[in-house]
């Protein structure tokens, strides 16, 4: 069914209901299109509803392995033939896997959109997982895991997740570990694809020099006859158990000249009402200017860190709110204590009126910049679809940002940041 039909031209620089074509196909695929004839190209972005949440512990990394292997050969094309098709048209198409979804993105001249969608359909529906290519990929994945094991930043992040999300699917690394990657056989990839890849819940956004109805018709030609009765329902994501006290853990990596620190706690989901207040507060805490208050305190004034910033990780499931820093190993304790003090100050006092106003102006001012490219708009359309924000979200965005006041920020800071229940994860010598 068609839930919105767009006119041929847009009169507003930001996407909105009158220039976004949204159509839900009979097999469950949602198509979003916005025309832009200022460029001869088109960009596509999308996802299918399968990711590492479906991985068993003993085969952890299967979803990531499968996503990487999709382009290694299909029923119609070998690995080399696929990329020759793309390169001959100056096009690109790539895949990635996350917790909840396997995503894809691509770009081509508008005249080659049919080619791009045809290859997308072929790769999603008919991968063959050639044995030789699977083994090459396995070696690459194991090499990546070996490099990760020596990366203090990556290991601090993984250590943090293990503590904060203990007993929860989010505690597991999406790309698995050497033991599980070695245990994944070609047959596992075939079975995983056959069961989990399907059109229900899939979304695809197309932006560029194409009329909306033509783009939607091309998607139908490529994907409307796709069906998978085995495709499982997306599992519900439960809330993790909250910590009752502070927790600290160090992951030792010998011979390193840097230690990395991650300190934080639980955060909001993207759809939570207090997400925007948390996001603006996080900007003041460790993003705006020279990495916010944290950067100024830990890096600029004290000289204790090579970098220091805060992050708000919010998606369809439970999020996290963290401060990360890279330090000389001898400064680890001092830097951690200073970060905790900044978190205590933030939770107690929130932000000043001037800090909030600066961040609000920054949020509103950078929105048009993020929508300058076709790819940026395609990702924006996927965001409003995935989180059910409404086709008018970007038109309402300035009002949403400006509606946040100082009381909202201090309330959300106190809701999530308890200085007595922080996770402190470090990695280094």
The answer to whether 404 and 360 have CB atoms below 8 angstroms apart is yes
From CA 196, how far away is CA 47, in angstroms rounded?
13
> What's the pLDDT at 12?
66
* pLDDT tens digits for range 202-224: 999 999 999 999 999 999 999 99
- CA 358 remoteness from chain centre: 26
From CA 245, how far away is CA 414, in angstroms rounded?
16
Structure-derived torsion over alpha carbons of residues 284, 286, 289, 293, reported in degrees to the nearest 10: 70
Reply yes or no on whether the pLDDT at 8 is more than 50. no
Q: Is 393 helix (H, G, I), strand (E, B) or coil?
A: helix
| Residue of 30, 26, 9 lying closest to 212 (CA atoms) | 9
> Which residues are bridge partners to 48 per DSSP?
102
The answer to whether 267 and 312 have CB atoms below 8 angstroms apart is yes
CA angle 288, 291, 292 (to 5 degrees): 60
For the chain, what is the mean pLDDT? 95
Reply yes or no on whether the pLDDT at 181 is more than 50. yes
Q: List Cα–Cα distances, 309 to 71, 101, 154, 156, in angstroms.
A: 36, 27, 15, 14
- Under CATH, to which class is 247-428 assigned? alpha beta
Task: Kindly state the average pLDDT of the residues 271-297.
Answer: 95
How crowded is the C-beta side of 241, counted as CA atoms within 13 Å? 8
| Residue of 277, 312, 278, 310 lying closest to 295 (CA atoms) | 310
pTM value is 0.92
* pLDDT tens digits for range 380-415: 999 999 999 999 999 999 999 999 999 999 999 999
Reply yes or no on whether the pLDDT at 423 is more than 70. yes
Q: Is 65 helix (H, G, I), strand (E, B) or coil?
A: helix
Three-state DSSP string of 121-143: HHHHHCECCCHHHHHHHHHHHHH
> What's the pLDDT at 1?
44
- What is the chain's Cα-based Rg? 23
* pLDDT tens digits for range 330-358: 999 999 999 999 999 999 999 999 999 99
- pLDDT-derived band at 122 (thresholds 50, 70, 90) equals very high
- CA 174 remoteness from chain centre: 12
How crowded is the C-beta side of 411, counted as CA atoms within 13 Å? 10
For the chain, what is the total number of helices (H) and then of strands (E)? 15, 12
Q: Is 102 left (phi over 0), alpha (psi -120 to 50) or beta?
A: beta
The answer to whether 219 and 29 have CB atoms below 8 angstroms apart is yes
* pLDDT tens digits for range 18-69: 999 999 999 999 999 999 999 999 999 999 999 999 999 999 999 999 999 9
DSSP 189-251: HHHHHHHH--STT-EEEEEESS-HHHHHHHHHHHHTT---TTPPPPPP-PPPPPPSS-EEEEE
Sheet containing 247-252, strands listed edge to edge, beginning at the edge strand earlier in sequence: 247-252, 423-428, 259-267, 319-327, 307-313
- CA 23 remoteness from chain centre: 24
Burial of 295 (0-12, 13-18, 19+ CB in 10 A): buried
The answer to whether 303 and 293 have CB atoms below 8 angstroms apart is no
| Better-scored residue on pLDDT, 243 or 424 | 424
CATH 3.30.365.10 fits 2-223, yes or no: no
From CA 384, how far away is CA 377, in angstroms rounded?
11
For the chain, the first-to-last Cα distance in angstroms comes to 58
| Residue of 98, 95, 183, 189 lying closest to 142 (CA atoms) | 183
Tokens matching residue 364: 């509103």
> Which residues are bridge partners to 311 per DSSP?
322
Q: List Cα–Cα distances, 239 to 99, 266, 269, 344, 429, in angstroms.
A: 15, 10, 10, 25, 34
> What proportion of the chain, given as a percentage, has pLDDT over 70?
97
Q: Is 255 helix (H, G, I), strand (E, B) or coil?
A: coil
Where are the domain boundaries for CATH 3.30.830.10 in the chain? 2-223, 247-428
């Amino acid at each position: 069914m068609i839930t919105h039909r767009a006119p041929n031209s847009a009169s507003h620089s930001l996407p909105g209901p009158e220039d976004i074509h949204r159509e839900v196909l009979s097999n469950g695929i949602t198509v979003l299109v916005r025309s832009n004839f200022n460029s001869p190209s088109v960009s596509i972005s999308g996802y299918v509803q399968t990711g590492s949440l479906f991985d068993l512990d003993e085969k952890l990394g299967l979803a990531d392995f499968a996503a990487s292997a999709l382009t290694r050969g299909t029923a119609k094309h070998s690995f080399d033939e696929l990329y020759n098709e793309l390169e001959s048209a100056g096009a690109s198409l790539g895949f990635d896997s996350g917790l909840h979804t396997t995503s894809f993105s691509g770009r081509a001249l508008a005249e080659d959109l049919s080619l791009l969608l045809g290859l997308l359909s072929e790769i999603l529906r008919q991968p063959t997982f050639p044995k030789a290519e699977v083994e090459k990929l396995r070696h690459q994945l194991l090499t990546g895991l070996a490099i990760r094991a020596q990366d203090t930043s990556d290991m601090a992040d993984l250590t943090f997740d293990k503590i904060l999300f203990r007993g929860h699917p989010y505690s597991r690394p999406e790309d698995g570990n050497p033991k599980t990657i070695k245990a994944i056989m070609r047959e596992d990839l075939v079975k995983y694809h056959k069961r989990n890849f399907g059109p229900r819940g899939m979304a695809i956004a197309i932006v560029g020099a194409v009329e909306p109805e033509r783009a939607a018709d091309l998607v139908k030609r490529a994907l409307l006859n796709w069906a998978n009765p085995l495709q499982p329902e997306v599992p519900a994501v439960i809330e993790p158990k909250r910590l009752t006290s502070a927790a600290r853990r160090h992951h030792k990596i010998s011979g390193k000249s840097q230690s990395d620190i991650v300190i934080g706690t639980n955060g909001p989901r993207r759809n939570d009402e207090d997400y925007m207040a948390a996001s603006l507060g996080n900007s003041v805490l460790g993003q705006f200017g020279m990495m916010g208050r944290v950067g100024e305190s830990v890096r600029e004034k004290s000289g204790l860190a090579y970098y220091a910033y805060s992050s708000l990780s919010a998606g369809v499931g439970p999020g996290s709110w963290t401060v990360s820093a890279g330090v000389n190993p001898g400064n680890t304790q001092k830097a951690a204590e200073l970060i905790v003090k900044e978190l205590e100050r933030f939770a107690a006092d929130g932000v000043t009126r001037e800090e909030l106003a600066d961040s609000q102006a920054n949020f509103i001012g950078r929105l048009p910049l993020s929508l300058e490219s076709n790819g940026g708009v395609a990702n924006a359309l996927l965001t409003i679809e995935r989180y059910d924000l409404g086709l008018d979200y970007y038109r309402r965005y300035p009002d949403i940002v400006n509606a946040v006041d100082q009381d909202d920020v201090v309330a959300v800071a106190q809701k999530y940041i308890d200085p007595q229940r922080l996770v402190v994860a470090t990695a280094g010598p």
